[in-house]
Structure 1
Amino acid sequence: MNNKKQRSGVRIHRAEIEIKLSGRTDWWIKKAVRACFKKEKSAAVYDLDIIFVHDRYIRGLNREYLGKNNRTDVLCFPYNSGNTLQADMFISVDSCRRQAVSYGHTTLREILFVVVHGVLHLLGWEDRSPASRKKMWLRQEQILSATGVPG
């Protein structure tokens, strides 16, 4: 019997994408992920890979796996293993930059909003209807507020 306590983890990959943000971007991302699990009262052990990509790449994933021929800001691919929530989360930096300008906040804040959105999907949240989308976005704002994210 293995009595080792499993640890949660987040790995961040930039796939040749330069993101000119605060030197603490990775720290903020990990803090946002932890806040999601805490606020959702989830004791799940998680093992997440967050991969930053361009629009063209995420559009290809969206077309191949979901049959949608358009770009999106985040796609999550869970592949749970035992008691561990494992997933790859792809985030379009291009979409985050555009959305940050559109919503009038920083790119860092938009990236964190999208990360929280992806984690909530992994925890079972849906946003297929206007009502569920509104509820999910409100929850994302609550979680981000709890992290103290700037801008």
Structure 2
Amino acid sequence: MSFFIEKEVECNFNFDYEKVAEAVVSASLEHENFPYEAEVNLTLTDNEGIHAINKEYRQIDRPTDVLSFPMLSYETPGDFSFLSDENEDDFNPDTGEVMLGDIIISVDKVKEQAVEYGHSEKREFAFLITHSMLHLFGYDHMEADEAAVMEEHQRKILDALGITR
């Protein structure tokens, strides 16, 4: 697995965020039985930075907590059967890894929401990465049944890591 973190802002967390992020990405891949080595990019920004990206790509004029930019298109969430070594566009030519996509997180929102929801910054950070990884696997939460499936996957991944509320 290749996992890259780009910091656009200072990350004054009281935990090793790089270690937590990598553990969550790895646990998510394992939970979903992802059949290939994967590449994931994480950008840590602030409310101003994520606001600009949210406005540009989603036409939503406000900051958000996390944005996901999947590189793959799924017919069924979590079904990787469409991936094939023959489809070179899905693989990084230098590493041979599947390029899953990009995760962008607002450090400001991690801190704000940890207080709002009454749990640790570590838990909020891990939750947002888990949530985004599931989007990179094709899951969504636009409908109640989709949201329930996604929430169950999130809970199982975080529980496996011992990261609870």
Shorter-chain TM range is: 0.7 to 0.9
- Measured in 2, the distance between the counterparts of 1:134 and 1:78 equals 21
Q: 1:82 aligns with which of 56, 66, 90?
A: 90
1:19 is aligned to 12
The alpha-carbon deviation at position 56 of structure 1 amounts to 1.2
In the TM superposition, what are the counterparts of 1:47-58 in structure 2 within 5 Å?
47-58=39-50
Q: 2:154 aligns with which of 137, 140, 146?
A: 140
- Measured in 2, the distance between the counterparts of 1:94 and 1:27 equals 19
- Residue 35 of structure 1 pairs with residue 27 of structure 2: yes
Count of residue pairs the alignment pairs up = 143
State the Cα deviation string for residues 97-146 of structure 1 (Å, max 9, x = none): 11111211111110010001111000010111233223312321110010
- Residue 97 of structure 1 pairs with residue 111 of structure 2: yes
**TM-score (structure 1 length as normaliser):** 0.85
Structure showing greater relative contact order (alpha-carbon pairs closer than 8 Å, 6 or more residues apart): 2
For structure 2, the 5+ residue unaligned runs are 73-88, 92-97
Letter in 1 for 2:112: R
**TM-score (structure 2 length as normaliser):** 0.78
For structure 1, the 5+ residue unaligned runs are 1-7
Contact 1:48/1:88 (<8 A) preserved: yes
Q: Secondary structure at the match of 1:85?
A: strand
Letter in 1 for 2:52: G
- Measured in 1, the distance between the counterparts of 2:31 and 2:19 equals 18
Q: In angstroms, what is the RMSD of aligned CA positions?
A: 1.7
